[in-house]
Amino acid sequence: MKISFNINGRNVKLDVDPMRRLLDVLRDDLELTDIKESCGEGECGACTIILDDKPVTSCILNAVHADGKKILTANGISKTRIGEILLDCFDQTNSVQCGFCFPGFYVTAYHYLITDGEPSLEKIRYALSGNICRCTGYKKIFESVIMACERLQEGS
């Protein structure tokens, strides 16, 4: 089946088995290795992308779900102004450990920043609850996202 979508600002046309996992199409066919696979069953959020306006786990979607949509991944986000601010906050707190879950956290936290952005610990905990990190204990991730919310509020 022929599908087309826009990924990180680039238009893509592909001829694929529509039932293949979207994650495999992005990683294997388009070599977008900033999307990670960990659990493969939608539990951990390592493969999170923004599909149109929602953060979703690409390991439990089929390729056909992307047809006609706009996709944003960690790599695309890092090239935006808000993405750079968020990246700098994660970096400044030394929150990153093994980093395997981080592109997923980055995508989800970016989505929170552009849709809500209130520096509220409770809201951020809830927003990030679909992403699992085994290294950090989450504390510095919370601090980073709060810091990014505050920087954006100061800047606007």
- How far, in Å, CA of 48 to CA of 78, rounded? 15
Q: Which residue has the tokens 């510095």?
A: 140
Tell me how far, at minimum, the Cβ of 32 lies from other proteins, in Å.
8
Tell me how far, at minimum, the Cβ of 105 lies from other proteins, in Å.
8
Which residue lies nearer to other proteins by CB, 5 or 90? 90
Which residue lies nearer to other proteins by CB, 44 or 147? 44
Helix (H, G, I), strand (E, B) or coil at 124: helix
Describe the crossing of helices 102-115 and 81-92 by its angle, rounded to 10 degrees. 130
- Count CB atoms within 10 A of the CB of residue 133: 23
Bridge partners of 5, per DSSP, are: 12
Residues that bind other proteins (CB under 8 A): 28, 31, 33-41, 43-44, 46, 73-75, 77-78, 87, 90-103, 106, 124-126, 128-129, 131-142
Which residue lies nearer to other proteins by CB, 68 or 126? 126
